[in-house]
Amino acid sequence: MTTSAKGAASGPADTAAGHVLVIDDDAPLRAAMDGLFRSVGLQVTMFAATADFLRSKLPDAPSCLVLDVRLPGVSGLDFQTQLAAANIRIPVIIMTGHGDIPMSVRAMKAGAVDFLAKPFRDQDMLDAVAAALRRDEERRTAEQATAALQKLYQSLTPREREIMDWVTRGLMNKQIAAEVNLSEITVKIHRGQVMKKMAAKSLADLVRMAEALKAAAQGN
């Protein structure tokens, strides 16, 4: 880590609400990074080992994890894999004083935002953290939107969900009526309820919602 007062002061303003978690067994480096991140308005939590991190609660805010490769016990790269397997989707930045190309390739393929070799420039770390926080904010926003959509869908009756499925497949009311053995006027009423409960402004809007729900279900 190379210290630069100018670099530290020029951190991106849009990370002010972010929270950086750092796992590194080097106490002086932890102290230096704590000062760097706090100098640009970031919240920081430091850990000396992965076990300490696992015992903690993740912040309810855009966050990222700065993870050293060489740690007591499990390596940083193996821990990154464990986090993914446990569906802990915090963006990860890998740092190491003993990096090589295969190691960096492995980290990036596993989803790391960046791979920084020690000593790194302060601004390089700040830039990597800014990118990681943006990624986490986008993920959180998407998850919140999906949760709201699922809540609307849960408000539908079983019959309304069935009608929504047929509608979003492109069938007309008359065709749906024949498929579900209902009158066309009844289908029209159900369809209106679906549009109202889902807060869909148009058929295209409802189709996009159905696709989003399907993608979320497949993701689970």
pLDDT at 17 over 80: no
Per-residue confidence band for 5, with pLDDT thresholds at 50, 70 and 90: very low
Per-residue confidence band for 198, with pLDDT thresholds at 50, 70 and 90: very high
Domain ranges within the chain, ordered by starting residue: 5-142, 155-219
pLDDT of amino acid 72: 82
pLDDT at 12 over 60: no
Among 8-17, 57-66, 122-131, 190-199, the range scoring the smallest mean pLDDT is: 8-17
For range 33-42, the mean pLDDT: 95
Per-residue confidence band for 68, with pLDDT thresholds at 50, 70 and 90: very high
pLDDT at 31 over 90: yes
Q: What is the CATH number of domain 5-142?
A: 3.40.50.2300
Per-residue confidence band for 189, with pLDDT thresholds at 50, 70 and 90: very high
- For CA atoms 34, 40, 45, 48, give the dihedral sign: negative
Q: What predicted TM-score, i.e. pTM, was given to this entire model? A: 0.76
Question: 155-219: which CATH architecture?
Answer: Orthogonal Bundle (1.10)
Interval 131-178: pLDDT, tens: 999 999 999 999 999 999 999 999 999 999 999 999 999 999 999 999
Rounded Cα distance, 196 and 22, in Å: 46
Average pLDDT, the chain: 89
Interval 74-119: pLDDT, tens: 888 899 999 988 989 899 999 988 766 677 778 888 788 999 988 8
Q: What single string gives the DSSP state of each residue in the chain?
A: -B--HHHHHT--GGGTT-EEEEE-S-HHHHHHHHHHHHHTT-EEEEESSHHHHHTSPPPSSSEEEEEESS-SSS-HHHHHHHHHHTT----EEEEESS--HHHHHHHHHTT-SEEEESS-BHHHHHHHHHHHHHHHHHHHHHHHHHHHHHHHHHTS-HHHHHHHHHHHTT--HHHHHHHHT--HHHHHHHHHHHHHHTT-SSHHHHHHHHHHHHHHHHH-
pLDDT at 15 over 50: no
pLDDT of amino acid 103: 77
